[in-house]
Amino acid sequence: EAGSPEALVKHILQAEPNLSVPVPIQELCARLGILRIEKFDTDEFEGGLVTDSKRSEGTILAKRGGEPRRRFTIAHELGHFLMAHHVPDQPGRFLCKSSDLLRLTAKPGDPRQRMEMEANRFASLVLMPPPLLRGAMEAFREPDLQHVLILARDFAVGKEVAARAYVQYHPERIAIVVAGNGRVQRCYRSLSFPAISCAVGSPVPTRSHYHVGPHRLNIASDIAACSPDLWIDVKRDLRAPALYEQVYLQQNGFAMILLRLEPVPEDNAEERRLEEGWRHRFHSGRR
């Protein structure tokens, strides 16, 4: 009867209060009505679900690949199975492409995109349950991409899945940009981080530390200060915040770029008075 991925995962955690890390997703599937998990040999689809009309039982199909990717596919299809309002294109059969498993938003009025988005939210939440994730995050202080790698390893999820969760639960103002072959692919940011000015598909800014290097493959770089206007809009006549970058190069031209924004320190009353007086004299032409 859960109407959202969040409510559904909450019910699962209430029924399974002692889940281990990494979450045993295949065992969980078996306890929730999935009879089999079979290999899916196709280039067109990443995963699938075959079920009866009443959703009393089902079979999940998952493509061969790395274990984190396969686990996410299984969790995604489990979400389709458990959410009764998910209606497949073909009776009793869901088929999901790689692009479906990346979907985080949906166009208004597009029920299929919404279902894929919800299945992805469910997969992320069930593989990295918030109570277990918060416990793991307590060990992390200053933002660092090395933490993302630790989460991905411990929860047996992909680095991008771990990056989304890390940004969401870290108390600092941070964002993680996913780049592919020098262009912005996706961006995940905390609620307090301003909008990224680089549009999806645009080149990574030329003055970013991404281009400075040399960076070593699969090793997070040092964290270094950068110009904030590379990534965010900085209003004129206001003191610019401090922005820091960290780069992690991956295989096949991909990279993660961590952005950390420090708040602008409050000026004391005397500094504000002097600055306001200077601006008034400047704009009025007085010396």
Question: Is pLDDT at 278 greater than 60 in this prediction?
Answer: no
Give, in order, the Cα–Cα distances in Å from 160 to each of 68, 156, 196: 11, 12, 18
Outline where 128-201 has alpha helix (H). 130-137, 145-155, 159-169
In the chain, what percentage of residues exceed pLDDT 70? 90
Q: What angle do CA 34, 39, 43 make, to 5 degrees?
A: 125
As given in the structure block, the two tokens for residue 272 are 């504000």
Cα–Cα distance for residue pair 130/142, rounded to 1 Å: 20
> pLDDT digits over 99-117, tens only?
999 999 999 999 999 999 9
- Show Cβ contacts of residue 170 under 8 Å, excluding neighbours closer than 6 positions: 137, 140, 143, 190
As given in the structure block, the two tokens for residue 168 are 């969401």
Cα–Cα distance for residue pair 234/171, rounded to 1 Å: 22
Mean pLDDT for 246-257 is: 96
> pLDDT digits over 53-97, tens only?
888 999 999 998 899 999 999 999 999 999 999 988 888 899 999
> pLDDT digits over 131-174, tens only?
999 999 999 989 999 999 999 999 999 999 999 999 999 999 99
78 near 25, Cβ under 8 Å? yes
